[in-house]
Amino acid sequence: MKSGGLPKHRGGLDARGGKQHMRLRRTFRMALAIPPLLAAAACAPQTSAPKLGNTPAASVSLAPAASEPTAPQPRTSTYKCTDGSVMTIENLGTSVRVLGPDGTSSELPASPANQTSRYGEAHDAIVIDGRDALVMKGGASPLACKR
């Protein structure tokens, strides 16, 4: 008995079903092969060095500008802030002691511990950049100060 009129293929699928089945198998195999390839590409070391012929047109200088001091932060400095207040910052090496305009004193550790420009804990922080200091206290707007 012949049913349909289309020839049968191995597995009992007609000609159209066989082609669809093969497409699905190919798609499934590709779907299995692509994620490991992407993962391998993501693990390959990436270098930020410019490639030959891909160099920037202008050179970038990493040296400080002439107006920036190259000397380390002084032991004690007085800063005048944009709100008119004055504060004193004492550099203790791994921390700074801040004497605020209201006479309160607080000590802030370096954060992270291996650097000399960012200090803070909890909600208070100070970032010192050359002659400038940015003072951030919890619940208040950041305050710019200058030595």
Q: Position of tokens 């012929």? A: 53
Report the SS3 class of residue 115. coil
How far apart CA 104 and CA 97 sit, in angstroms, is 10
Please report how many Cα atoms fall inside a 13 Å half-sphere around the Cα of residue 36, on the Cβ side: 4
How far apart CA 50 and CA 48 sit, in angstroms, is 6
**Would you say 133 and 124 are in contact if contact means Cβ atoms under 8 Å apart?**
no
1-15, 22-36, 47-61: which range is least confident on average?
Answer: 47-61
65 pLDDT more than 50: no
DSSP 45-110: ----SPPTT---SS----SPPTTS--SPPPSEEEEEETTS-EEEEEE-SSEEEEE-TTS-EEEEEB
Residue 47 has a pLDDT of 53
The 10s digit of each residue's pLDDT in 90-145 is 999 899 999 987 888 999 999 998 888 999 998 899 999 999 999 998 888 999 99
Question: If you count them, how many residues does the chain have?
Answer: 147
Q: Report the predicted TM-score, pTM, of the whole model to 2 decimal places.
A: 0.51
